[in-house]
Amino acid sequence: MKLQQGQIWKTSPAVHSHDGKPLYLRIVRLERLAVGYKEMASATAVDGKHKNATKKEFCRFIKGGELLDA
């Protein structure tokens, strides 16, 4: 799977969650070694927290997760 800007990932609660609920991560900036993403409580939410991670960390967050159709 290739990461692309604008993708929305639903995380696995066992890997990356908030109070046992899955989080939704939208890729807002994609660079060679870094990912800027927005962490949201639902896929349709407009409010969320902007965060940065290395690609390796981001891939660990979405391990076992699901790519949603945009």
pLDDT tens over the chain, length 70 residues: 799 999 999 999 999 888 899 999 999 999 999 999 999 999 999 899 999 999 999 999 999 999 998 5
- Whether 2 is covered by a domain: the verdict is no
Any residues with CB less than 8 A from the CB of 44 and at least 6 apart, and which?
Answer: none
- Position 22 scores a pLDDT of 94
- Whether 53 is covered by a domain: the verdict is yes
- Whether 60 is covered by a domain: the verdict is yes
CA distance 42 to 38: 11
- Position 53 scores a pLDDT of 98
Ordered DSSP codes for 31-67: -SSEEEEEEESSTT-S--EEEEEEHHHHHHHTTT-EE
**Type of residue numbered 48:** G
Domain extent for 23 = 8-68
- Position 70 scores a pLDDT of 59
Query: In this predicted model, what pLDDT tens digit does every residue of 21-36 receive, in sequence order?
Result: 999 999 999 999 999 9
- Whether 48 is covered by a domain: the verdict is yes
> Which 8-state DSSP code applies to residue 16?
S
Structural domain tally of the chain? 1
